[in-house]
Amino acid sequence: MTQPATSPAPSAPTPGTLAFTKGHGTQNDFVLIADPEGVLELGADDVRRLADRRGGIGGDGVIRLAPTAALARAGEQAAQNALAKDPTAEWFMDYRNADGSVAEMCGNGVRVFAAFAEQEGLADLSAGPLSLGTRAGVKHVTKEANGWYAVDMGPWSLPGGETAVSDGYDAAVAVHGWTAPRPALSVDLGNPHTVVALASPDELESLELHHAPEVAPVPPHGTNVELVVPLGEEDGPDGLVGRLRMRVHERGVGETPSCGTGACAAALAVRTWQGGASGAGAPDTWIVEVPGGEVRVRVLPGGTVELAGPAELVYSGRVAR
């Protein structure tokens, strides 16, 4: 299991440069920027340049750590909402996809954000949970004894309602190379997901995801598409644990080795297919295998879901602005 790196960020600022840290959660990777005064402006062009894997640092997205209060004063509605809900949410996760588009949040990114806040001396998870603001609400992060970070991802829902639960689908997905679209289930975790079940690991492995899957009806703000294979159940310390394997095509990014909210959506979809909206008879805990490793998804009482997994900070440096 990976542990967050403790190497300090460079301490000697150079004019015309920007300090950064590179981090990842199960190889879902990010460029992290600390902006403790809340004064840094990152435009879409800046994000694309930083995330570029040939001309920049490279990453699936860019995360700016900034004071929630400063963003609230600047008119960021999500920051205002975060402080109204939880005044202890001192820091805000300003997340952008690699293409420069603004995103609600990222489950793997939340864990990496927490490790980054620790490295920067802005949080101490040994003293208790970290509350942080996102565009998908306030997230609470705890650190487990094994070094993993666990995040209460908040409420989830099935946008298709009872009809989608009874039918098992409310959308159709076409992947490049398929002869026909396949049924899929929509899951909302503050950002949109569409989950498709496949028959075997071999079929999952053979998918061609260089092209974005086509989803119908077309989601108004795009969607992340998860292709999943249920792998059965196994005994865990607290009862049965489900296991599944997943690949994901993220909106604004392409295929990535992992997606935290996507892992949650995949587990919730398989649980729904097995036990309906309540998950009756299906496990509440799932191990999700992704190309970048494994994460744990746990359905919590009260309609929320928890994501747990590793976070690693790889290196820090400075880049020309």
Q: What was the pLDDT predicted at 14?
A: 63
- What parts of the chain have a pLDDT lower than 70? 1-15
Place of tokens 């997905």: 173
Query: What SS3 class is residue 72?
Result: helix
Q: What number of CA atoms fall less than 13 Å from residue 250's CA on the CB side?
A: 28
- Residues with Cβ < 8 Å from 198, sequence gap 6 or more? 204, 227, 228, 229
Are the C-beta atoms of residues 91 and 132 closer than 8 Å to each other?
Answer: yes
pTM to 2 decimal places: 0.89
For the chain, the helix, strand and coil percentages under 3-state DSSP, each to the nearest 5: 20, 40, 40
Q: What was the pLDDT predicted at 15?
A: 66
Q: What was the pLDDT predicted at 293?
A: 97
Secondary structure (DSSP) of 228-258: EEEEEEEEETTEEEEEEEEEEEETTTEEES-
Exactly one of 66, 83, 103, 259 is catalytic; which is it? 259
Number of H helices, E strands in the chain: 7, 18
Active site residue 264: no
CA distance 38 to 118: 18
What is the pairing mode between strands 130-134 and 285-290? unpaired
241: exposed, middle or buried (Cβ count in 10 Å: 0-12, 13-18, 19+): middle
CA distance 85 to 82: 5
C-alpha closest to that of 156 among 191, 119, 131, 206: 191
Active site residue 259: yes
Q: What is the mean pLDDT of the chain?
A: 93
- Residues with Cβ < 8 Å from 34, sequence gap 6 or more? 9, 19, 21, 65, 116, 120, 122
Exactly one of 78, 106, 110, 308 is catalytic; which is it? 106
Q: What was the pLDDT predicted at 238?
A: 80
Q: What was the pLDDT predicted at 253?
A: 87
